[in-house]
Every structure is written in C-alpha cells, then in structure tokens.
Structure 1
C-alpha cells in the first residue's frame, strides 16, 4: 500500500479524514497525522511518505515554507493542498511548490478520490521511471565491472560518475544468494557508498566506495547479515584504477565459484591484495593408485571427503579439482585393468557443479568396477565386445559388426544398449580412449601415432575427443601419468 500523511492544525479535520473515504480500496493507508508542521518534518526525515495532505494556514509554520522543506526531504512525494475558502494566496504558493491539486474545506469525498487517483498515477509513472533508471544504471555497472563494454572503460565510468579519487577505496562486494533480494536492492539504492550494483545469476555484485570500516558497517547492516554462520559475502582487495576493475571481478568470480562448488554456505571471504600462486599440484596416477590400493570400497567415501576437504582448505580451483577427480578415476581404473571407463563418467566429472557430485561419480564408478568381474553378457553382446577388442583400429560400425554376426543392426544395437548401458558407437569410442590412455602411459609414441593406432582417422579429432572426456590434453595426461616411476617399474 502507498503511505499517506495528513497535516492540519485542526484536530477535527485530522479525525475526519480517515473516515471520509475507503482508503484501503485505493490501496492507500494513512500512516501518520500531525497538527504541528515542525513535527511533520521530523517524521519525514526518517519515514517514507507517498502522498502528503497538508493545510496551508498553520500557526507554527507558513504553508509555503513547510511544503518547500517537505519537498526537499522527499522529492517524489505527491502533495495535495487543503485550503479554506479565502486562502487563494496560500493555494497559489502551494501549487508553486509542486502541489498536485488543492481541495477546499470541507473536503468533498468524490473530489478527494479523484485527486488521490491522479496522485497514484503520478507515483506509478515515477516508479516506472525510477525502475528504468535503476536497470540502466545496473547495466552500465555490469559493463564496467565485467569489462564487456564496447566503449573504453573511462567514458563508461564517467557516465556512472565514478572518478576513483585518491582519497577513496573502491572494492567489489559479492553477496551470494541473498534471501531478501528486494529488501537488499532497496537498501543498496539508498546507500551513499554504493556506486552501482547488478545481479549475476543468483548473486548481487556491488561496486562499493569507502574505507574498511565502512565496508564492515555496510555488511553489519545488510538485510541478510554476514558472519561465521551466516550469509556468505566475498570482498575484493582495493581497486587501483578503472582498468583493474575487470581483473578484480574475475578474482571475485573465481571465489564465488569455489564457494558454491565446495558447498561453503556461510562466512566472509576477504581476498588478499596479491593473488597467491596455486599451492595444490596435480597428483600422478601412480601416487593415487598407491593411496587407493588399501582403501576398501566401504571407506572410499571418507577418503574422498578428506581429499576434497583438504583441497578446499588449500584454495584449489574448481578446474583443478575436476582434473584431480579425473586422475582419481584413472587411478581406480589402473587397479581394475579389465574395466573400461566410459565417456559418461568423464562427462559427469567435467560437468559437476559441486564436490558432492564429483564424489557421487567416483563412488558409483567404484561400485561398478567391483561388480564388473561378476557381470555376464549374452552370447551376441559378448561377440560384439570381442570384435571391438580385435578390430577397434578399423573404421568399425554397428552395421559391419551386425553383418559379421548375421544379425539385424537394429536388434543387435538394442540388445547391446540394454546389457551394456551404451550404444555400440559410444562403447567403441570409450574403448579407443582407454587404449590411448594405456599407450600414453606405457609407450613413447607421439600423439599422432597414438591417434592412428587406436582407430582415429585424424589426430585433431582424437585430440579434441580426448580433451573433452578427460578435461586435459593427451600431452597433459602423459605428464601426470609419468611424473613418477610407474608401479610396474617398481615391482620389476
């Protein structure tokens, strides 16, 4: 509801106004009545009012002076003047102060309703204009902060009236998934230190000017307060100049992604002045194979949780965490050499939005590995698997295999998918990638030779397929696999 205030030195007028019409039907509520205009100004300093009904002839303060002061306090407020029969000079002065209309006493209810409806239309126009201005300001802020603007950065900043003066500190604040978004945005608009803000998915990015103390005060007053067990906020280091804003924004995004990926639901993240180098290294397949050898299936979840928890504490990036999950998967396969990894497993790792999803992929795969030795296929499917293992280097198709077995391609394809869980084409591609992994680990063949050795017609297609599945290139994988002496070498 829109908020209405009535000011008149006549008590009976103030008492009668609430009973004069059905205010609720107009979506209006009278929140305050005052006989003294000085008291009314005190109220207006702290409380928002949409429509002011005011007498113009009051002993404590002249009407024009009161309206001018009220207008300065709340410029968008709609003013309706109440006047006696002979107060035309006051009426004129009220209109000069931006009054929407004047009503003669005694007030006619129908005329009051019409005037209030006109005031509501004016407020709606102001609200629309304010919303459009806020959206435009948010769009400009987004372009400046993210570096997406086609125009040079400084002109965009100038349009936002941002000069980055030497005596101010500028930062980016990221408020993650605020629960009271509407209240937060209303608060941001009213904050003098907020130069601009915009929504980025479920988060709100704020361009803030102020000292460290002002940042703390701002965070303490947020609708969703921040603390060790409350709403997470990321605070950037001080921004040195316009050109550095986009780089600082990328660091903030990196920190946001980590909070969601590692499911850290609370606390305050203050990014250091200098970005630290990565402290977490990509482990080798042999290293993880050795660690996993003595981990039973029932203890794998605890091992994974401990591993990923340590990575979160050491500030591992999301990308590096996914890569380590791939190496864990390959180490698990090394302990079960008869198991063929699938592109679906790699795809789920590369697309995992959280560590919990990574853990689920690895646990599911480990359970599948333990069951593989007991799995039995039908004669037709077993023959398809045998043909693939012997002829995977050829440009093999389901039609070729079905022809050799004198079976319908449709029937054979359906039977294979039902038992194996993949199409013949998917299985063949995964089989070739698994063979390529072994050649990278056990030989010194270059990537071109390996591509042709496992059945790919071009090295570029092999490279693209391998990187898509493992989230690393063949060369990067070989570095990981051969960074330490192989297990077979130590046993020889």
Structure 2
C-alpha cells in the first residue's frame, strides 16, 4: 500500500483532501497530515512516504523549498503541489525539482484524484523498472567487464569510469589478470547433450572455479557462448606470486574436473596494475590460447612463457607487419619479395627452433587473412592453401623453401586484390550513379550525401568515380539536370523558374548559366529553336 502525506497550513483544506479522495481504491493510505513544510520533512524522515500533496504558500518553509528537501531525502518520492494562484514561475521551478504535477485552487477533487492515480501509477512503473535493473545487475556487470576489455586506457576510464560505483564493484586492487577458458569441443558437445545440458556443464565449471575463490581477493566471471573469462584481482607486493597462484587454481581445476566432458584450453594473460589496462591482459590471454594449435597436448598457456617473455599485441602485430600490409595494398611485388627475405632471415636469428618460426609465420599469415577479410575478399582458397602447407610443414627442409612458398602466396593475394577491388570499385560507382539518378532533382544533393550512401569517404568517392566512369560526379549531376531541363523545355510550357526548381537548381540564374555552358544556348533560345510550347 502506498503511503501519502498531505501538507497545508490550512487544516480545512488538508482535511478536505484526506476525506474527499477514495484512497483505498488506489491502494493508498494517508499517514501524515502536516501544517508546515518543516513538520513535513521531520515526519518524512521518521516514516517515509511515496506521495506528497502540498500547498505551495506556507509561512515557515514554502512548498517549493520543502519539495527540494524531500527529493534530496528520497529521490523517488512523487510530489503534487497546489497553489491558489496561476503562478507560472512556481510551475517552472517545481518542474526543475522533479515535482510530478502542479494544480490550482480551488481544488477539483475529481481532477486531483486523476492526478493522484497518475502519480501512484508512475511509482509502480518506476518500482518495476528498478526491480528490472536490479535483476539485470549481473548482466550489467558482465557487460561492464566486456566493455572494459574492448576500450583502451583513457578511453576505458572516460567511458566506463562511473560504472564501478553504480554496480557496487570494488576495483581498488594492486594487480589484475585475465584468464580465458575455451572449450575446444563445444560444438560437438552441444550436438551430443543439447544446448541446455551443455550450458549447465559450463556453469558447473564456473562453480568449480568459485570453490577455489578464496585464494584471490576477488574473482569476476564473464560467460560467453564457448568461453569463460575470469577477471582476477589481488592485493600483493609480489605479482609473480599472483601468477603462480593463478596457475595453481587452474591446474587444480583440470585435475579435479569430474566429468571430463569439456575439453578445456586456458590462456593466462599478463598481469596489469591498473583496471583500465585490463584489455592488455585480455588480449594476451587470447593470444596465449592460440598456442594450443601448435601444442595440442598442453592445456594451460601463459602469455609470459609462450615465447619466454612478456608480450602484448605488438609482438604479433608490430609496425613491420603494418609495413608489409602496406606493400600488399600497393601490390609492389618486388618490395614484398625484399620484405619477406628480410623477415625470414630475422626469424632464423630470433627463433632457432622450427616450431617457434612456425608460430611466428602463422601469425603473419593470420594478419594477411584478416586484411583480406576487412576488404571483403573471399579467402577460402587461400585458407585451403595455408592449411595444406601447414599439414605438410615437415616437407619444408629449409627456411628458403618456406620463403619461396610465402612469396608465391603473396603473388596470389595481389592478383585476388586486383580482381576483387575492380569488382568492388565498379559496385561502389554503380551504387553512386543510381543514387544520383534518383536524387539529382534535389538542390541540396552533395558529394557528402553520395559518399555517405555508399559508405566511403567523400574524397575517395570523388576520385574513384572519376577513375572508373571517366567523368566527375558534379558533371554527372549536371548532365542529368540539363537533360531533364531539355525535356521540360521542349514538351511543356512551364516557366524557366519552375524548370530550374524541378531540375535541382537553387535559382534560375544559376540554371541558365549552367544550361548555356552545357548546351551552348540559353534555355529560352533552346525552347524556341526546338519548337517548345
């Protein structure tokens, strides 16, 4: 039942409100009737209310000031203010405070009843929404950590900085680490057990990890379809001990996992000392997991130990690789061949074992495929070629043999880019041309509009269109407009001003100049020469 307080220094008025409204029908009860704003605040502190109906003009503490104090005590309280005068300034101040309604005296009790019902209904709606927010808090916490692993550094803090307090998350720890648990047989198990039982098995793994929670100061979980991400937090002066503890928990999990249904592969990220750098740890955990491809009998992969040292994304996507991608963009085969020669020589010096070189080259191939994927180029044949090469990796006896294979692969890539980009360029220009043909009569049509329509930059659109169609965008628009104007001049008697408007010109003067420049004569002369009406 909702609790109501009536405040008015005129007892006849407050009693009238209490008696003339059917509170029971609205599941409400008047629990306070006060004669001053100060007394209302005291009563509200002693026993909170959901709705306050108050006169504005009272001697000690007026209704506006009382409302301000009431909202500071309970931001959810609803307030209906009553005034003997139509004072717009009062209404504006009341709305700024969050007062839900404002009515005038003399009181129409039927009208006040409707306003009261509306206020009480809004309380129910807000309570329902508040419950939904509370129920979704675990999902919001998961979303917070997912975003935290996406945004970087200052971006993460500026975008997410207010959420830890809102979500009641204590993130004041010395060190953090991310662990990513991947289930290698997820698809097979989903088909065998069904999705419900499969997801229950995943939750069982989380329960097992929670059982080992005490070793860390805090542990947060983010559950994805085929992965569990753990965010570990620890206060310690020894980050290496933190890492050792992480290994201990995960090894214990693998040893004690009873059903052995899920084939778990675990990547341990690098330790960071700032929650806003969590993305670094996450990215390294994900990279560490890639080593399962090369060491299938191992289950735990530590980013620190993968190459014998800490590594971040730069280890697998450094500036030299960006230089290589740039050469692919230019399709400079001689420069690509030179870059690959230098690259392979460096690998032999850095990684004396064949397996380590294997891993590094695999990373480079992944970067090539990612680049082609971003260009929307089909890579299925390249993927098959790469899989075939790695299936028979032992057949490469020297790094020069693998270098020759990589060089031929890059020639293949450049040919695909030529074919695919030509097709893409033609499609983009065709879409732009169609858009122009459908919108040339709009005087506000601009290069920005056309570029936005086909999802490229204006400068790129302008240069590409002229290269592919051998005519500029502005000349294309002009041609459409002038051709249409010619038809109007010959087949109608509408005015030149109307024709210029229908053909997309902002004014008749500009139309006439443009027409004469294109056709050689003025619009009037063209109409007369061609027997226009």
Measured against the shorter chain, the TM-score band is 0.3 to 0.5
The higher-RCO structure (CA 8 Å, 6+ apart) is: 1
Which of the pair is proportionally richer in helix?
2
In the superposition, the TM-score normalised over structure 1's length comes to 0.34
In the superposition, the TM-score normalised over structure 2's length comes to 0.32
